[in-house]
Each structure stands twice: as C-alpha cells, then as structure tokens.
Structure 1
Amino acid sequence: MRSPLSRRGFLAAGSGLAAAALPALSGCSPFASADSDPGTLTVHTQLGTTAPGSPTYKAVVEQFHTEHPGLRVKNLVNGDDLPQVYETSRLARKEPDVVMVNLYDKTLAWTEVGATVDVRGYLDDWGLRERVLPAALTEWTDGEGRLRAFPYFATNWPVAYNTALLERAGVGAVPTTGDQLIGAARKLRAKGIAPVTVGGNDWTGQKLLAQIIQTFLSPDEARKVYASGDFSGSRGVREGIDYFVELRDAGVFADKAQGLTSDIMTTQYNTEAAAIQSAMSSALAKVPARTAGHTAVGGWPLAPGAAHDKPTILRSYTLIGFWISPNGVRKIASVEKFLRFMYRPEVVSRFITESGRDMALVTDTVSKDFPLVAEAQRLGDRVGQVLLPDLHVPPTATQPLITATSTAFTRGTSAAAVRSTLESAYRTG
C-alpha cells in the first residue's frame, strides 16, 4: 500500500503550518535547540508520564549520563499526540534527533516522505541486527525495503480470564468455543458479573473486533481485507462479522460496550467487575496481584469451521521503536552511542524485570514479577495468531475505523450495517 501522504504533500501542506508554528517553536520552545547543541541528544518519547516502562527509561537515561558525561539526553515527552507534535516540529526543521513511538497511523508514512530516515544501514554498521527478532525486522520494514526504526518494545495480546469469577458463576473451564463463551456469559450475567469488558469506543475495541472478524480468514486474506476496506467481498469476512454480531447480541460483551474505553475496561477487569478482557502486555502488567492470582491467559474462542485450529491472540513487534530524524543524522555519532546503550542486554532486561514489557529484541529474561506477562510469553503454539491490522490499514482510515467500531459494538446493529459502517471508514477517511 502506498501512503496517501506523499513527500510533496507533506512539505506543501506543511509550508503554512510551519510558518504558523514557528513562533511556538522558537524562544523557550523545547524544539528550538533540537539541532543546535552538539553535546545534547534530543529524544521525543512517550515514556515519561504514566506509560509502562517510564520509570525504567528515566533510570537508564541517568545511567547513560553517568557513562557518557559529555553527552546529555534531553527528553521531550508527549502522549498520543506525539506524532502530530513531531510532524509540526519537522515541518519547521526543528525536530528532535530521535523519536520513540509505535508504528501506527501517521507514523506509517514518515520514512517514505523523508520525515525520518531509513535505519537499515545503521543497524548493520553498528552490529545490532542480531539483537533484533526476525519477526520484528519484518514488521518494521516497509514495502520498499526501508527499515523505519530500530525495533524495541513488542506486545503479546492474549485474553485474560478470571477463573474465580468463572467458577462463582458455575463455569467449569475457560471457554474455547463460541458456544461455550455464550453459555459462560449467560451464567456470569446471572451472577451480576460482566462477561467480556472491552473499550468499544477506542482502539481496544477496534483490535478485538478485528480479531473476531478474522475467525474465518487466513493472514493473507485478512491483509487484503484491511488494506482494501472490502468487508463484503469474501465469504470468510462476512462469516467473521456474522460471528461477532452473534456474540454481541448474545450478551457476551459488557453492557454499553460501545461507549467504554480502554481505561474503563482495565478498571472493570482489575476490580473484578468483569470476568474476561482482551489485554495487551502493558494491561496484563497492571493486573493487581490478587486478581492475577486467579487469572488464566489464553486465546479468543473459535466458531465451528474457523480458519484456525486454536483460540487466537494478537502479537505485535511494533509497539515502540527508535526513529532517527534528519536532524539526528547530523548527530549520528551521538545517536549511535545512545542506541548501542539501549540495546545492551542488561538494559533490555531492566524493562522486562522492572516494567513487565515485552521486547522486540533477543533476550532470555523473564518477567518474574509480572506473572501474566510471563504466562503470555509462554503460550507458544497453545494458541493461534491472527493479523494485527495496523500495518495494513491506510492512515486516513485509522480514526474512522474506531468510530465504526463503536457502531459495531452497539447491540442490534445488523451484520450488513456493520459491514457498511466499516467500509465507509475507508471512503470518508
């Protein structure tokens, strides 16, 4: 898929924006000196607030300062708005040297349009290729063979089951089929317990919907569906949407799931108001010890005739990478020192042991203090895997798909209406 954001479009669109932004990017702005001080490496990151791994990141940066007294890392911290803030700074040529962000939505086009650089040569020149899992290299490489960033964080995205709540409701085992899941939901509701909690109004619901839709699709078929936005053209995708609607209208999802967010979802599961959640590694790491003690990690239940042999999970190696900007190329010796340090096995291990992060790098370290993360890492071939659609959805459709997801989770919406709503996300984006 070619990004709709061309090099010419990025620069042309930015001419007016950059002019408007320049006052904010000068004077006291943190971007003003991004490329002016050879002794400072400016890193734009999402690690610095409440994001999992933030305390570890701050600690290892201090260790880096101790080992490199002549080089200071200056962190610029943003949350979900980081891509937009970075693009604004790039248009004004005041961008930071290194960016730590995931491969998703806007960032898919960055290397193609020159907002960041292909790092394949640096990875090889610095001898770091063997540190990266092959699957991570594949996911971070675009269709032209460019390596967008140095892979770092990964995630497993299994399903967490509160076995104590299931037992209280008279459910004897973790459900592995759709019929078992529907039966479990009825019993849970009878006890006043929400079955599957999900952020039907945000990205968590989008991912679970995508996972269920793929019940009858091979990875290649799913790739075509999410690249094209054709949710009607194959029998498999129609059956997947029918399966989702069947589960939804049978009461499998928490009440008013279409209005819930990821924060509400994790709160409901962690406080044991809900029995089941689709949870990525960072959410599993936050499950309280009491709840974690009776949580089993597995896959999403299948329907008869599914394209998979076992309940499914999602996996991704694109959660956070180190992108190098054009300004960063001017300080490439400093960037090399920083990335060599961040790739050191003992530094990588700290993110695993202290923060419960999954890594896109080769490591034998296990999250001993984060048992559910470790359990997810050990699932292996006990589960199947479906495609995370993020790398294949056109950036212009990403946010409209989340809006469409809320409609899909609204009980009573027909399968035909769900298909139409999903397809419209590609036309209106």
Structure 2
Amino acid sequence: MRSSLTRRGLLAAGSGLVAAAAVPALSGCSSLAAADSDPETLVIHTQLGTTAPGSPTYLAALDRFREENPGLGVKNLINGDDLGQVYETSRLARKEADVVMVNLYDKTLAWTDVDATVDVRGYLDDWGLRERVLPAALSAWTDDRDRLRAFPYFATNWPVAYNRTLLDRAGVDAIPTTGDELIAAARKLRAKGIAPVTVGGNDWTGQKLLAQIIQTFLTQEEARHAYTTGDFGSRGARAGIEYFTTLRDAGVFADKAQGLTSDSMTTQFNTQAAAVQSAMSSALAKIPADVVRHTEVGGWPVAEGAAHSRPTVIRAFTLIGFWISPNGVRKIEHVEKFLRFMYRPDTVARFVTEAGRDMALRTDTVSTGFPLVAAAQRLGSDVSQVLLPDVYVPPSATQPLITATSTSFTRGTSPARVRAALESAYRSA
C-alpha cells in the first residue's frame, strides 16, 4: 500500500522524512516547537486530555507517573482529529514528540513505512510486555512486513444499542435479528413518531455502519479484499449494497441521515428521540443512566443468505496505541518507564473502571460502572464479527469514502450509484 503522504511529498521513505514546500500552514499550532530537546524531559502527544473518553483517567495517570519519577520532566501535547497532521509537520522539522498516542487509521497507517515512527516489536519483547497484550491486538497492530507499529492499548466493541422502552412503546416485541424484522420495527417506530436507527451518515460513524452492512454477504477474506482494493463488484459486495439500500429506502434510518454526524447521532439516542444506534464502547459509556436502564446491546440484523448466521458487530483492537518516534528512541529509557507504567495492571484497571474503556491488554477488571460496555463484552457467540475496514483502506481514500457514505445514505440512490461512489473514492486517491 503506497502512502498518501509519500504521494503528497510530505514524507519520504529511505532517507527518513524531508521537508516539502507543500507542508500546510497550521494556525495556532505549536508543534514545530513542541518537542523538548532536554534529554530529561519526555514529550507525549495524545488525543486524550480534553473531552475524549478516558481523558480524566489519563491525566490522573500522568500525574501519578510524575510523582513516581520526580527527576523526569513530562510535557503533554494535546490535539484532536488533527493530531496526525500536527505530528507529521513537527516530524518534518525533527521536533516531534517522543511518544504518540493515536489510533491506527488514515495517515498513521503510513508512519512506520516512512520512518515517522519505529518498529516497537523489539522493545515489547526486551521489556517483557508481550504477555500483557491480547494476541488479536498484536496481530492487528502488525503490518505485512511483521513490524509492530505501536504498543496496543485501547480496543473497542461496536455493537448495536436498542432502547427497549421505545421499542415496547411502538409494539416491537423483540430485538430485531433479521432485516425483515428491522424493517417492520422501523415502520412501527415511525408510526409513533420515533426515529428508528440514528446514524452519522455524514461522517465516520456512517462509514462504519455502511461497511458493516455491506459485509453481511462477505467473508472476512472477501471483505479484506474489497476494502483494500476498492473493488465492490463481487456478488457478495453487490448483495450487501443492495441490502443496505433496501433498508434505507424502507425508512430504517433516521430522516436526512446523510447530513447527520456522530454528535447528532448520540444526541438523538441519548435523548430518546431514536430507538437504535450503532455505538462503539466509548459511546455506550456516555449514555445517560436513565437510558442505560432500558437499553440492550446486540448485533446488526442479517438477511437471508448472509455469510453470517448471527447478527454482526465490529470488534477492533486499534483504537489507541503508543507509537515511538525517532526522537523517542534517543530517550528510550524514559519511554520504557512510561510504557511500563501505562501497562501496569493497576493503571489499566482504572481506564476500565473509571472510563469504561475496552482494552487491548489482558485484564480481569470488569466495567461494573458501565453496564452496557460490560454487556457488549459478554455478547460472545451470540453475534458474528465483521472487519473494521480502517486498517485496509488506503489513507488517501479515507476522506473520499466519507463523501461516498453521505451519497449512499441519501434515499433513492441506486445500488449501482452507491457502488460507483465507493469505487470512485479509491480512484480519486
């Protein structure tokens, strides 16, 4: 897979990274002066620290780490969705942070290839931390050249949340497990003025649900091929697209879903304006207690002839990892202290109990304060797992796929046009 970074000329493999005239100006960004050259200061670049789930726990953990290591300075840099761009810009100036906490998605897929970050497999083994990591997480973070891109940390379950009270009010007796049952439930909900399935059809949440539904008729190998190559012409992919458009045009999704975002989706479900949402575990953890009490989790209903015999969910282990930069290699003894601290069972347990996070690490701690997160973990054989496409989609196709998603959620768009929009996202890459 060639990197979009390489194509843009921002990063170059072989000789490390080189500056280019195409580097965008980032207003308000201090990344170019972010990394501390002091060898006794560890610089961490993270998305945790604002409203992201787990931020208070992370900041408290950082305070404990400072207390336990009084001679070591710690600088914490925080960015949101622009972290990838900010990090790349700072790396071009050789002023990048020592450790980066971010998911495996879009830009970050190329970082190890272009020497923006280093293979951490040797460190994982040398520090005796391999046994702390779930085997599936190690596999997910390993690239096709057997390099471990980062130390795995957060995972996620992505089930479907059903508001039992709203379903009962509409006369829906059971959680839908088939497409026909879902369509029938949607009609009853609409008759009561309740939106059926809310989804951010204009952002990543819609993209993930669309991918999940398309995979109804695909094996994992077939799904991997489709999302790696952008070829949605197989019989299974076409059947999945047709299944999606059938559900859409039957009124299963909330009105004007093509314009909704993840924020509007969660607002609709959390305020009980909608009965169903596809919700990753961090979203489940934020559902209000009065809604949690009558919410059940399950999978996405399947159709006759599906490749899956049970409703589907997405499970992924690539939500947040600890990446080590070339600057971090120069302070590797400090990085080791930090990673050992973050991998400690007591630190991991607090993310589970305080923030309801799913972890890519072994832990016996249960999310007792987040019952829907725990319920999703217990689904087990009641559901079938489909792929999270993020690690297969070429970085340059990621944003075009969001546009294709909005087109797909627009009622009346034919299956052929949905397929064309998806494949066009890859051709424009």
TM class, shorter-length: over 0.9
- Larger mean Cα displacement after TM superposition, 255-264 or 14-23: 14-23
Partner SS for 2:19? helix
- How do 1:27-426 residues align onto structure 2 when only pairs under 5 Å count? 29=30, 31-32=32-33, 34-232=35-233, 234-426=234-426
State the distance in 1 between where 2:8 and 2:168 align.
59
State the distance in 1 between where 2:345 and 2:43 align.
23
**Contact (CA 8 Å) 2:31, 2:95: kept in 1 or not?**
no
**Contact (CA 8 Å) 1:18, 1:88: kept in 2 or not?**
no
Partner SS for 2:33? coil
- In the TM superposition, what is the alpha-carbon distance from 1:21 to its structure 2 partner? 6.5
- In the TM superposition, what is the alpha-carbon distance from 1:73 to its structure 2 partner? 1.7
State the distance in 1 between where 2:135 and 2:293 align.
33
- In the TM superposition, what is the alpha-carbon distance from 1:134 to its structure 2 partner? 0.4
- In the TM superposition, what is the alpha-carbon distance from 1:34 to its structure 2 partner? 1.6
- Alignment equivalent of 1:16, drawn from 10, 20, 23: 20
**TM-score normalised by the chain length of structure 2:** 0.96
State the distance in 2 between where 1:138 and 1:17 align.
37
- Identity of aligned pairs, percent? 76
**Contact (CA 8 Å) 1:21, 1:92: kept in 2 or not?**
no
**Contact (CA 8 Å) 1:242, 1:415: kept in 2 or not?**
yes
**Contact (CA 8 Å) 1:10, 1:113: kept in 2 or not?**
no
Write the deviation string for residues 51-83 of structure 1: whole angstroms up to 9, x where unpaired: 000000000110011110011221100000000
Partner SS for 2:94? coil
**TM-score normalised by the chain length of structure 1:** 0.96
- In the TM superposition, what is the alpha-carbon distance from 1:39 to its structure 2 partner? 1.7
State the distance in 2 between where 1:122 and 1:17 align.
35
- In the TM superposition, what is the alpha-carbon distance from 1:231 to its structure 2 partner? 1.1
**Contact (CA 8 Å) 1:227, 1:393: kept in 2 or not?**
yes
Counterpart AA for 1:158: P
- In the TM superposition, what is the alpha-carbon distance from 1:133 to its structure 2 partner? 0.4
Partner SS for 2:122? helix
State the distance in 1 between where 2:27 and 2:357 align.
38
State the distance in 1 between where 2:256 and 2:24 align.
42
Counterpart AA for 2:19: S
What is the count of residue pairs matched by the alignment? 425
State the distance in 2 between where 1:7 and 1:130 align.
38
- Larger mean Cα displacement after TM superposition, 247-256 or 65-74: 65-74
- In the TM superposition, what is the alpha-carbon distance from 1:4 to its structure 2 partner? 4.8
State the distance in 2 between where 1:118 and 1:344 align.
22
- In the TM superposition, what is the alpha-carbon distance from 1:89 to its structure 2 partner? 0.1
Q: Note the residue ranges of structure 2 that are not aligned, 5 or more in a row.
A: none
**Contact (CA 8 Å) 2:10, 2:23: kept in 1 or not?**
no
State the distance in 1 between where 2:34 and 2:245 align.
53
- In the TM superposition, what is the alpha-carbon distance from 1:17 to its structure 2 partner? 4.4
Partner SS for 2:373? helix
- In the TM superposition, what is the alpha-carbon distance from 1:272 to its structure 2 partner? 0.3
Partner SS for 1:230? coil
- In the TM superposition, what is the alpha-carbon distance from 1:140 to its structure 2 partner? 0.3
- In the TM superposition, what is the alpha-carbon distance from 1:2 to its structure 2 partner? 4.2
State the distance in 2 between where 1:138 and 1:122 align.
16
**Contact (CA 8 Å) 1:105, 1:390: kept in 2 or not?**
yes
- In the TM superposition, what is the alpha-carbon distance from 1:214 to its structure 2 partner? 0.4
Partner SS for 1:15? coil
State the distance in 2 between where 1:370 and 1:23 align.
38
Partner SS for 1:263? helix
State the distance in 2 between where 1:60 and 1:53 align.
10
State the distance in 2 between where 1:318 and 1:33 align.
26
Counterpart AA for 1:197: T
State the distance in 1 between where 2:194 and 2:18 align.
51
State the distance in 2 between where 1:150 and 1:66 align.
23
State the distance in 2 between where 1:243 and 1:345 align.
44
State the distance in 2 between where 1:48 and 1:24 align.
18
With over 3 angstroms needed to count, the CA separation of the structure-2 counterparts of 1:371 and 1:92, relative to structure 1, is: same
State the distance in 1 between where 2:158 and 2:232 align.
23
Write the deviation string for residues 307-350 of structure 1: whole angstroms up to 9, x where unpaired: 00100000110000000000000000000000000000000000
State the distance in 1 between where 2:366 and 2:4 align.
41
Counterpart AA for 1:90: R
State the distance in 1 between where 2:291 and 2:26 align.
50
